[in-house]
A and B are shown apart, each in its own frame.
Chain A
Amino acid sequence: MAKAKMLTGCRAAAEGAKAAEVEVICSYPIRPYTAIMMELAKMVANGELNAEFVHGEGEHAQLSVVLGACAAGARAYTGSSGVGVTYAMELYSPMAGGRYPVQMTIADRTLDPPGDFGSEHTDAMCTRDNGWLLGWACSPQEVYDNTLIAYRVGEDHRVMLPQMVCQDGYFISHIPDKVTLGEMSQVKEFLPPYRPIGPLSLTHPVSHGPQIRPDQGAPMDAMRAQTFLAVPKVIEEATADFNRIFGRNYDPFVEQYKLADAEIAFFIMGAHSNTCRTAVDRLRKQGVKAGMARLRWVRPWPTHQLATALGHVKAIGVVETSTSYGGAMRGGNLIHELRASLYDLDERPLVTSFMGGLGGETIWPADFDNMAKVLTQAVKEKKVRNYVQWLGM
């Protein structure tokens, strides 16, 4: 087994792309994801990676380039952050609808304003309804791993969908942590070469992205939706294979930390789950039966898995790092879907949410203690007072 190295999330993503032997890369700089492309550029320049490295003139161009590359049969890779992600908005639906399994790596950044380079999940969450696979890592190690897992799932012929592999800007992308890189033999065993369906070809000419008639629209949408019914099984298979080959221990959809006997639970994704785990440990020492459920995939949303994992908990606090202004709960995005997932249980947990880590702020250990107080109070009163609490506000 290879020795662990100290790598940032940016370097880990680049190592993942290198291990996947990506063939076409398209870059455009924006903090904090920039270093992923800087590292890949070095790898290509040093001859460590045999890939075509294209400088896009913007994020829209980046996505267009990798779409074309993927249509021609290449394993393609791109990425962005913050407003870069939203600038490419037009391409997300065609990429998924045309069934191009490219990978886009995201190091989260707030949208404008505030436009600081702090992490906030809103950028990638904006794209969640366009038919991409979308998931968050909570460590540089998981960034590397998810890069490989996402390619394997996305390129599976039952799926053929683009993937967004997200990491929190700065917290994951810039702070080095232990990463064990896979051996080439492991990667080869796990990730077969990309086999396109109907690639652009001189000998078998095909048209990609033609105009379709209105009466083809509904079946097209239905077929895209149908694909998502098949995705969870593929994710389960891929994760099981990954765990076996690389010796890891991922739950395919939801990391469950001390959840089995928990009375209150945090529902969270991304970097701040690391602080959350230590907070759960500390709360347990104080006699509070706390637990954590960490979401690994937002799309497909693991409805049944969440109902099973969280059904027995008395009160759940959703830690939101994205905004949904004017949404049903007036806070973030995750609470809507979590509440919907739990709706059909006979005894529903109480669910409220906490807006934290916005604009790149740290969620402090003490913040989790305060959230736990709100949840404990909800259990006692058998109701939540409010749908949302803004930490520190």
Chain B
Amino acid sequence: MAKELPGYGTIDVPKDRVVPFGAVTPAPVCQQDLFQTSNWRIVRPVKDDEKCTRCLICYLSCPDACWVYKEEEDVMEWVNNFCKGCQICIQECPSGALTAVPELDFPDGVARLDKPF
């Protein structure tokens, strides 16, 4: 028998760098908070409830499901955290209820994420 054989070593992944098992992340039941995209936005859609007919075209056309119909209050609700400001809803709205307003005009909606995306 030879001298003592080398070992396979130990591996200690630092706590702050541990990745979920098999890279499986919690599924978004409603919103995937691990992937906010509000900081992609230059303008945000602002709605005029007087003009809005609740036709749900915005709901259908939004690629990121950022328009939600609130049945109890009978209003459309905008999802700040995920709207990328792509303006498709503004283009598609048949009643002209949506307008693009520069994001910088609003004090709210600050994301200031650690990562660019």
Interface residues of A (CB under 8 A from B): 113-114, 329-330, 352, 383-390, 392-393
- B9/A388 in contact, CB under 8 A: yes
Given A383-B3, A383-B4, decide whether A330 and B9 contact each other with a Cβ distance below 8 A: yes
From DSSP, what is the main secondary structure of chain B's interface residues? loop
Contacts of B9 in A (CB 8 A): 330, 385-390
* B23/A387 in contact, CB under 8 A: no
B1-45 Cβ-contact flags toward A at 8 Å (1 or 0)? 001101111011110010100110000000000000000000000
Chain B residues engaging chain A, CB cutoff 8 angstroms: 3-4, 6-9, 11-14, 17, 19, 22-23
Name the residue of chain A whose CB is nearest to the CB of B4.
A383
Please give the distance in Å from B30's CB to the nearest CB on chain A.
Answer: 25
A393 adjacent to B12 (CB under 8 Å): yes
Chain A residues with Cβ under 8 A from B11's Cβ?
390, 393
**Of A113, A385, A390, A393, which one neighbours B6 at CB under 8 angstroms?**
A385
Cα–Cα, bound, A352→B11 (Å):
15
Q: Which has the most chain A C-beta neighbours within 10 Å: B9, B17, B19, B22?
A: B9
CB distance from B106 to the nearest CB of A (A): 34
**A330 near B23: Cβ-Cβ < 8 Å:** no
Q: A156 to chain B: closest CB distance in Å? A: 41
- Known A114-B23, A385-B6, A385-B7; further 14 A-B contacts with Cβ < 8 A: A113-B22, A113-B23, A330-B9, A383-B3, A386-B8, A386-B9, A387-B7, A387-B8, A388-B8, A389-B9, A390-B9, A390-B11, A393-B12, A393-B14
Min CB gap A201→B, angstroms: 51
Q: How far is the CB of A371 from chain B (nearest CB, A)?
A: 13
A-B contacts at CB below 8 angstroms, number = 34
Chief secondary structure at chain A's binding surface: loop
Output the nearest chain B residue to A113 by Cβ-Cβ distance.
Answer: B23
A329 contact set on B, CB distance < 8 A: 8
- Residues of B contacting A383 in the complex (Cβ-Cβ under 8 angstroms): 3-4, 6
A296 to chain B, nearest CB (A): 28
Minimum CB–CB distance from A303 to chain B (whole Å) comes to 22
Task: Decide if A352 touches B6 in the complex (CB within 8 Å).
Answer: yes
Q: Is the CB of A386 within 8 A of B23?
A: no
**Does B6 lie within 8 Å of A386, measured CB to CB?**
yes
Contacts of A392 in B (CB 8 A): 14, 17
Residues of chain B with a CB closer than 8 A to A114's CB: 19, 23
